[in-house]
Amino acid sequence: MLKLSKTSKLGTKSWSLQAGIPADGGTCPGAVGPDGDYVTACQGCYARSGMYHFGAVKAVRADNKADWKRDGWTADMVKALSKDKHFRWFDSGDMYSLELAEKMLAIMAATPNTKHWLPTRMYKFPKFQAVLKAMQALPNVMVRYSSDAVDGSYTPGVHGSTIVPSADQAPAGVTVCQAYNQGGKCLTCRACYDKSVAVIGYPAHGKKMAKVIRIAVAA
């Protein structure tokens, strides 16, 4: 059974999985650094704290992890998104499976009137490159490769999003997310879906991320 969510920030539907590295039961292998621990940007992940620890929230994500494997899931998703103008993949988690990624591509292609936004770190794995390229080639899909940094740095031509310590510390070439000037809500902004916006910078928020940045700056 499909379980789509709608976050207060976005105001649009989203489909998500449990955040975290596989060793912690999550679906984010791209969040694993060379030392086997979380990369810097994921150490302060909002989706591993607060309401995301609630049993009901975890249950939905666990159900989704099982549900996508059934034969009718792709068709059900296409039907569910047929009237939506915008859709976000993964307000938590990532497309840890190539089979899941291929199903997502089919859904994107079958819903040309819906703009899809996919943030991901799966670009780090060669076997995902072809499907990610096919997704990005679709006119209604924006795939944003997430930088692992928390200081606003990114690799031009690769990363489509990064974390900045604050809005006024965003480097050149980075479009700052406006939600943090709008009560934490996207409202009418859809920059994340816009192919003409090369890199989005998300200002750090929350005590957990603030601590990560302090440690990173001091290192």
Query: Minimal CA–CA distance to 144: which of 156, 125, 158?
Result: 158
- d(CA 17, CA 47) in angstroms, rounded, equals 10
Closest CA to 7 of 57, 49, 79: 57
What's residue 218's pLDDT? 62
Q: Which pLDDT score is estimated for 57?
A: 83
> pLDDT digit string (tens) for 29-61?
999 999 998 999 999 888 777 777 778 888 899
Q: What pLDDT is attached to residue 195?
A: 98
Residue 217's pLDDT is what? 64
Q: What DSSP string runs through 100-144? A: HHHHHHHHHHH-TTSEEEEEESGGGSGGGHHHHHHHHHSTTEEEE
Contact 55, 87 (CB under 8 A): no
Give the whole-angstrom CA distance, residue 148 versus residue 118: 16
Domain hosting 54: range is 5-218
User: In the chain, how many domains are there?
Assistant: 1
Q: Which residue has the tokens 């034969």?
A: 71
Query: Average pLDDT per run of 10 along the chain, which is 219 residues long?
Result: 85 94 94 92 83 81 96 98 96 97 98 98 98 98 97 95 92 93 91 98 81 70
**Lookup result for tokens 């031509």:** 157
How do the residues of the chain divide into helix, strand and coil, expressed in percent and rounded to 5?
40, 15, 45
What pLDDT score was predicted for residue 16? Answer: 96
Whole-number Å distance between alpha carbons of 113 and 97: 26
57 touches 91 (CB < 8 A): no
